[in-house]
Structure 1
Amino acid sequence: MAKTTEKNQEPVANQQIDTRIAAVRDLIFGENIQQYNSEFEDVYNRIKSLEEASQKSLADSVASIESKLADLESLVDHKFQDLNDDLDKKLADIDDEKADRRKLGKALEKIALMLQE
C-alpha cells in the first residue's frame, strides 16, 4: 500500500511542478508569446485568404478552359460539316462529269452508226 500512495503522490507533484513552470514561463515570455500568437494568427489568416483566392482563381480558370473547349468543339464541328458538304458537292460534280462521259460515249456511238450506214 505504501507503493500505491507514492505513485499517487508523484503525479500530484509533477502537476505542481508543471504549474509552476507554466507560471514562470508566462511571467518571462508571456508578452512575447502573445505577440507570436498574434503574428501566427495573422499568417494563418493570410494563408487562408490566399488559399481561397487560389481556389476561386482555379475555378475561374477551369470555367474559362471549359468554355474555350466548347467553342473549339463547336468550331471543329462546323468545319467538319463544311468539309463534309464540300466533299458531297465534289462527289456530285464527279458523278456529273461521269454522266457527261457516258453521254459523250453514246453520242460517239450514234455518230459511228451513222457513218457506217
Structure 2
Amino acid sequence: MSKKPEQNNESPANQQIDTRIAAVRDLIFGENIQQYDSEFADVYDKIKALQDESRKNLSESVANIENKLADLESLVDHKFQDLNDDLEKKLADLDDEKADRRKLGKALEKIALMLQE
C-alpha cells in the first residue's frame, strides 16, 4: 500500500502549538534572525556585484586580447610584405647573367635575421 502524503490536516490544537512555538522562537531569536537575514542579503548582494564585475572584466579582457591579436596579425602581415618586397628588390638588383652567389647569400641571411626578430 502506498502512503499518501499528509495534507494540511493538522488539528486546531496543533496549529495553536505551532503558532506559540513560532512566537517563542521569534521572541528569543527574532533579532538574531533578522540580523542574519540582513547579513545574508548583504553577502548575496556582494556576490552578485562581484559576479557582474568579473563578467565585465572577462568580456573586456577578451575584447582586449582580440584587438591585440588583430594588431599582431596586421604587424606580421606588414613585416612579411616588407620582407617579400625587399627580396624581390634584391633579386631584381642581381645581374641576370652573373648571379653573384655571395650577394644572394647575404640577402637571404639578412631576410632570415629579420624573420627572427
Structure 1 position 32, deviation (Å)? 0.6
- Number of aligned pairs? 93
Cα deviation digits, residues 8-41 of structure 1 (max 9, x gap)? 8963365444333222211110111001101111
Displacement of 1:76 after TM fit? 0.5
In structure 1, stretches of 5+ residues that fail to align are 1-6, 102-117
Distance 2:67 2:15 in 1: 64
Corresponding position of 1:63: 63
Separation of aligned partners in 2, 1:47 and 1:35:
18
Task: State the TM-score, normalized to the length of structure 2.
Answer: 0.65
Higher relative contact order (CA 8 A, sep 6+): 2
Cα–Cα, structure 1 residues 57 and 9, in superposed 2: closer, same or farther, change >3 Å?
Answer: closer
Unaligned runs of 5+ in 2: 1-5, 100-117
Matches within 5 A, 1:25-104: 25-94=25-94, 97-100=95-98
CA RMSD of aligned residues (A): 2.5
Structure with the bigger percentage of helix:
1
